[in-house]
Amino acid sequence: MTDTASPTETAPRFDAAAIRDQFPILGTRSHGKPLTFLDSAASAQKPQAVIDAVAETYAFQYANVHRGVYELSERTSAAFEAVRGKARGLINAAHDNEIVFTSGATEGINLVAQSWGRANLGPGDEVLITEMEHHSNIVPWQLLRDEMGITLKVAPFDDHGVLIMEAFEKLLSERTKLVSVTQISNALGTVLPVREITAMAHAAGALVLVDGAQGVPHLAIDVRALDCDFYTFSGHKLYGPSGTGVLYGKADLLAHMPPWKGGGDMITSVTFEKTEFAAPPMRFEAGTPNIAGIIGMGAAMDWVAGLDQGGLAAHEDDLLAYGAACLSEIPGLRIIGTAPDKAAVISFVLNYAHPHDIGTVLDNQGVAVRTGHHCAQPVMEHFDVAATVRASFGAYSSRDDIDALVNALEIVRELLG
């Protein structure tokens, strides 16, 4: 024995147990068994700090924002607007006015499609996406295709779930006006080389929209380093309330985009003859927003900022490696998506049971996973499966959760195998 400890002995460990204690729901039971929550890619659970922020807003600091001269409204407006700065810092945007509040990543993509797309696209113009997109980054472009005559191109991925960059590059042309890609596949966990994609798209004269719904919870985001033109994400995947989100857009782009929805708070003046619209971001935030939800999203951003980011990344990498190793030992199990660069998502199938039946048995053991096509049906088609079982991890997840999944899958084998 020596006086010098090994690096693994001296390095501070990421304390997932202490983090888990901050999430009340994770201390509950399901079907009489301790809850094992493995569906964070759909919606992450909420720490007490976020729950408190929402409750305190409704209990002690609720009024409509931007419209009242009384103190309560001014306090609520200040708390609401402070979240813009938090979001700017989270993704390293240049200005607060580049942050548009939305109901989530889906609305962010639709906002770009309906505002920028309608103003800048026409027949024959091309939008390039990938084969691994969530439906939210497919359907809005199909709607424009069917209505306006644009062309939708799709870049393929290989059987490991890796985007084929040569094919992607060949699909770029002078007709490509927008490249819209996910940062992390929700169904496969693949991390796309967004910076490289953006550089290639810009060289072809195209703008870039990044769907960061899965990216923000797992990666350090710097939109200026990525140089993307738009970036969108959801609050509910970032340990915040549902019905909240952010669209980042470069200031010069937002300034020239028309409003998508009309109503209160997005105008400077209205007559029956003419309306003058507010400058971004207010131009894109018609109506009363999800006030307490946005403040809660700000609390989630504060909570995430307080984590050891390097430790979190290492923790999730460990869970991914441990989970893949454990699941690979199960007879008849095939992991769908084996890209070398992955985030904390493992999708799989068993050759003797349908994913929905697997999910039902797992649920009876207290293990919550997502089953189905995960709003990514083209991905399922690529692998010739109807659906998969998806286990996804968050900051509160642990090896114990994976062990519970493996033990529950043994019961699946006994009942269905």
DSSP codes, 266-330: SEEEE-SS-EEEPPTTGGG--S---HHHHHHHHHHHHHHHTS-HHHHHHHHHHHHHHHHHHHHTS
Is residue 6's pLDDT more than 50? no
Kindly provide the b/e burial profile for residues 264-278, where b requires at least 16 CB atoms within 10 angstroms of the residue's own CB: ebbbeeeeeeeeebb
* pTM of the full structure: 0.95
Average the pLDDT over 388-396 and give the result: 98
pLDDT tens for 31-44 read 999 999 999 999 99
Identify whether 228 is a catalytic site residue.
no
Contacts 24+ apart (CB under 8 A), 375-381: 375/134, 375/135, 375/136, 375/186, 376/132, 376/133, 376/134, 376/135, 376/185, 376/186, 376/187, 377/135, 378/131, 378/132, 378/133, 378/138, 378/154, 379/131, 379/132, 379/185, 379/187, 379/188, 380/187
Give 67's pLDDT tier (boundaries 50, 70, 90): confident
pLDDT tens for 314-350 read 999 999 999 999 999 999 999 999 999 999 999 999 9
Per CATH, 9-38+308-416 and 51-305 having the same topology is answered no
Is residue 25's pLDDT more than 90? yes
Instruction: Judge whether 211 and 237 are in contact, CB under 8 Å.
Output: no
Q: How far apart are CA 254 and CA 250, in angstroms?
A: 6
Is residue 3's pLDDT more than 80? no
Looking at residue 417, what is its pLDDT?
A: 82
Q: How far apart are CA 118 and CA 259, in angstroms?
A: 11
Looking at residue 13, what is its pLDDT?
A: 59
| Fold (CATH) for 9-38+308-416 | Aspartate Aminotransferase, domain 1 (3.90.1150)
pLDDT tens for 242-300 read 999 999 999 999 999 999 999 998 999 999 999 999 999 999 999 999 999 999 999 99
> Among 63, 139, 375, 386, which one carries the catalytic annotation?
375
User: Taking the domains of the chain in order of start, what are their residue ranges?
Assistant: 9-38+308-416, 51-305
Chain center to CA of 84: 18
- Find the helix or strand (DSSP H, E) in which 152 lies: strand 151-155
Looking at residue 2, what is its pLDDT?
A: 31
Across all residues in the chain, what is the average pLDDT? Answer: 95
Architecture, CATH, for domain 51-305: 3-Layer(aba) Sandwich (3.40)
